[in-house]
Structure 1
Amino acid sequence: MRTPLGLVALTLAASLTGSLVAPSSADTADRAEEAKYRWSTTVVDADQSFRGLDAVDATTAWVSGASLTDGGAAKVFLTTDAGATWQDVSPPDSEGLNFRDVEAEDALTASVLAIGEGEASRIYRTTDGGATWTETFRNTDPKAFFNCMDFSRGGKVGLAVSDPVGGKFQIARTKDRGRSWTVLDDRRMPRSTGEFNFSASGDCLVFAGRNAYFGSGGDVARVYRSTDQGRTWAASETTLPTGEAAGVFALAFRTPRAGVAVGGDFEAPDDGTDATALLRRGNRWTAGGDLRHLGEDASWSRGMLLVVGQGGEDGGSSISRDLGATWTRFSKAGFHTLDCYGADCWAAGGDGRVGTVRIG
């Protein structure tokens, strides 16, 4: 919700006359949450910007990223001791790649997506905890740019989404747990001229039960839903901002028909107004509560919603106890990506940082 102009004038007048302004209710709520939850943060590799994350359980997680050094190697790291130590399990010959998404079954089996135009979009898979990797997909369309992927519960079916080619989003699918991928026919995909995905956090495409969803931005901010493993899709508009760097950045679902879309505008990273939208039933997205930072990723933990965002001077981590209607920022620490397993939440971001916090 935008601040009424009259309230801005009153606040300015108070400051000019030297009046003391009481802390806002938002500031008070923030401090109350800050006292409850604090990120425990470690730097895994300062040369990496992490945007891929999958928390397998309370002790096992994978993160993936890209080098902050031009032409440097993209890395994948694995922990099996709740983040006390991290092992570099990166695929070989990853110089210049950008691993924006990682999806894992357990401590041994995972797939990682490299994003980019043409052949820069690739998927690698390991079944031995990263000791060896197999390239299972390489994009051959020079106009395609794959952004994120996810697997259904059980891991048999997986989908990856590319920015539109010829005015329609492209979907790659696996039906054998990621061993092979096929780009699907797009004839029944809605027209999407002027739209694109954001590979902000690896969660622009997610499964929720048998449904799959992905978000878009650009000329319109929409959420697409498929009930048939990616063969057909229906699009619904959201209330999130639109623009060249604005739209839906990530999705998180509590049930197959109830969830949250988060995003914002990377050109206005300190503005969290209208940065969340809610799906409570059916296919209609309504405005959620405003954030005090970008919403790059979201996750559910014990019936509560967490959102993280890293950008501008006012990033942070926020929590909602009313299904996204209102939010309080419990930390000014910002991250790009987030995943919770029960009460244990993991986050990762720039400068190789990984954080953990327990929600309860």
Structure 2
Amino acid sequence: MIWKNNKIIAALMHRSFSFGERDGDRALLLTFEHMKQLLLFAFLIVAGSVSSQTIQLLDSNHTSSIRGLSVVTDKIVWVSGTNGMVGRSIDGGATFTWNKVDGFAKTDFRDIEAFDANTAIIIGIDTPAVILKTVDGGKNWKIVFQDKRPGMFLDAMEFFNEKSGVVIGDPINGKIFIAVTIDGGDNWRTMPEQLAPAAEKGEAMFASSGTNIRSVGKNELLFITGGMYSRIFIRNDKILLPILQGKETTGANSLAVWDKKTFTVVGGDFMNATSTEKNCVLTRNGGKTFISPTTPPFGYRSCVEYLTKSKLITCGITGVDVSEDGGDNWRNISATGFHVVRKAKKGSAVFLAGGKGKVAKLVW
């Protein structure tokens, strides 16, 4: 959009030199006046394009706080949250159907993965940790995994495709919990502790938006940790991130991946939500080096998502920000807080969700 407007500006400026009369001074004056008017017009065009992103609220005033969000297409959207609630829209968010999952009225469903209008998987974080699946649009749910061990806490879920997926959880006996499925979530196999990645003392994951684990290509996963230590796990490498850490409330919360070399991490301290200190880092060489933005997001952020390689969106409890230069500079577009933002897997629609059942759409 900016490129197109730059062409408009160039054309307008070129036209300004065609104005004028034979009298030299008068021609110069007319040219100057037209230049001012046309440059003002061009500025308004650019300003309009830069500020064109807005947040459109679609649904709210529910008792559920939403952190699970899966956007299948521009029309099919699923959300999940506290009090056992799951919502579904098949008309692009114009209307939502809300259901409380039977037997799980007190469960917090922190993440959801949907495949179509009928099929979805949700994770209940603890007491007990559960994974459930529906194949009839959320009317009925089947328990496909359950772990009642003390300390079990599921954080996020990621699928490579409709068959193969991974769930990640906080460390048990010093090892990060991982379970995998290869049959669309019907069955899950827990990774043996001796093979699971080791965590440092005080290191865990934040179940803030279901995005601390991401797939890269067809068979590679990246995930991030927070707390006393904040690291990114890339293949066999465990890289300490230059992001705020050292307390239980600090660290990386969300990871967005464009390709094997380009990804962005956001977080901060959710107990100091307006602070911009070390709340975002990005890499363009596959994690060999990380850099901080020139202009960071405007506070603690719990989720980040690529819209294009250069355009990103991030959200947290203090607002929503966008970047149009690959994450180097961020601009606030809303002071309304959201927990999670996701782009359609098959489409261009972007949805957000947060506290009090808020669901919104990015107009861009």
Relative to the length of structure 2, the TM-score reads: 0.81
1:287 aligns with 2:291: yes
Match of 2:5 in 1: none
Give the conservation status (yes or no) of the 8 Å contact 1:97–1:115. Answer: yes
Distance 2:62 2:123 in 1: 21
Distance 2:252 2:110 in 1: 16
Alignment partner of 1:163 out of 160, 170, 176: 170
Distance 2:331 2:120 in 1: 34
Once the two structures are aligned, what percentage of the paired residues are identical?
28
Tell me, which stretches of 5 or more residues in structure 1 are unaligned? 1-30, 67-72, 227-232
Do the aligned partners of residues 266 and 33 (structure 1) sit closer, same or farther apart at CA in structure 2, a change above 3 Å counting?
farther
Shift of 1:186: 2.9
Partner amino acid, structure 1, of 2:143: E
Distance 1:37 1:55 in 2: 19
Partner amino acid, structure 2, of 1:61: V
Tell me, which stretches of 5 or more residues in structure 2 are unaligned? 1-46
Give the conservation status (yes or no) of the 8 Å contact 1:306–1:319. Answer: yes
Alignment partner of 1:182 out of 189, 192, 198: 189
Give the conservation status (yes or no) of the 8 Å contact 1:211–1:256. Answer: no
1:138 aligns with 2:154: no
SS in 1 for 2:305: strand
Distance 1:268 1:82 in 2: 34
1:82 aligns with 2:87: no
Match of 1:347 in 2: 352
Match of 2:73 in 1: 57
Distance 1:245 1:78 in 2: 31
Shift of 1:258: 1.6
Match of 1:99 in 2: 109
The answer to which structure has the higher helix fraction is 2
Shift of 1:121: 1.2
Match of 1:230 in 2: none
Shift of 1:34: 7.6
Shift of 1:273: 2.2
SS in 1 for 2:251: strand
Relative to the length of structure 1, the TM-score reads: 0.82
Distance 1:79 1:288 in 2: 37
Match of 1:205 in 2: 213
Q: Which whole-Å deviations, capped at 9, do the CAs of 1:79-109 have from their partners, x for residues lacking one?
A: 0101111012442111211010001111111
Shift of 1:285: 4.6
Match of 1:121 in 2: 129
Match of 1:27 in 2: none
Shift of 1:249: 0.6
Distance 2:204 2:48 in 1: 38
The answer to which structure has the higher strand fraction is 1
Give the conservation status (yes or no) of the 8 Å contact 1:97–1:120. Answer: no
Q: Which whole-Å deviations, capped at 9, do the CAs of 1:315-345 have from their partners, x for residues lacking one?
A: 1111111111111111112200010124321
| Aligned-CA RMSD value | 1.7
Shift of 1:32: 6.6
Do the aligned partners of residues 191 and 62 (structure 1) sit closer, same or farther apart at CA in structure 2, a change above 3 Å counting?
same
Shift of 1:257: 3.1
Partner amino acid, structure 2, of 1:103: E
Match of 1:263 in 2: 267
Q: Which whole-Å deviations, capped at 9, do the CAs of 1:34-80 have from their partners, x for residues lacking one?
A: 831111103345201000001111111000010xxxxxx32000001
Give the conservation status (yes or no) of the 8 Å contact 1:109–1:127. Answer: yes
Match of 2:25 in 1: none
Distance 2:289 2:174 in 1: 24
Partner amino acid, structure 1, of 2:184: R
Shift of 1:252: 0.9
SS in 1 for 2:362: strand
Match of 2:18 in 1: none
1:273 aligns with 2:311: no
Give the conservation status (yes or no) of the 8 Å contact 1:293–1:309. Answer: yes
Shift of 1:207: 1.4
1:317 aligns with 2:349: no
Give the conservation status (yes or no) of the 8 Å contact 1:237–1:285. Answer: no
Shift of 1:267: 1.8
Match of 1:357 in 2: 362
Do the aligned partners of residues 155 and 88 (structure 1) sit closer, same or farther apart at CA in structure 2, a change above 3 Å counting?
same
Give the conservation status (yes or no) of the 8 Å contact 1:273–1:291. Answer: no
Match of 1:192 in 2: 199
Partner amino acid, structure 1, of 2:107: L
Question: Which of 1 and 2 has greater Rg?
Answer: 2
Shift of 1:141: 2.3
Do the aligned partners of residues 276 and 32 (structure 1) sit closer, same or farther apart at CA in structure 2, a change above 3 Å counting?
farther
Match of 1:248 in 2: 252
Distance 2:151 2:265 in 1: 27
Match of 1:221 in 2: 230
SS in 1 for 2:51: helix
Shift of 1:156: 1.3
- The 5-angstrom pairing of residues 227-238 of structure 1 reads 233-238=236-241
SS in 2 for 1:255: coil
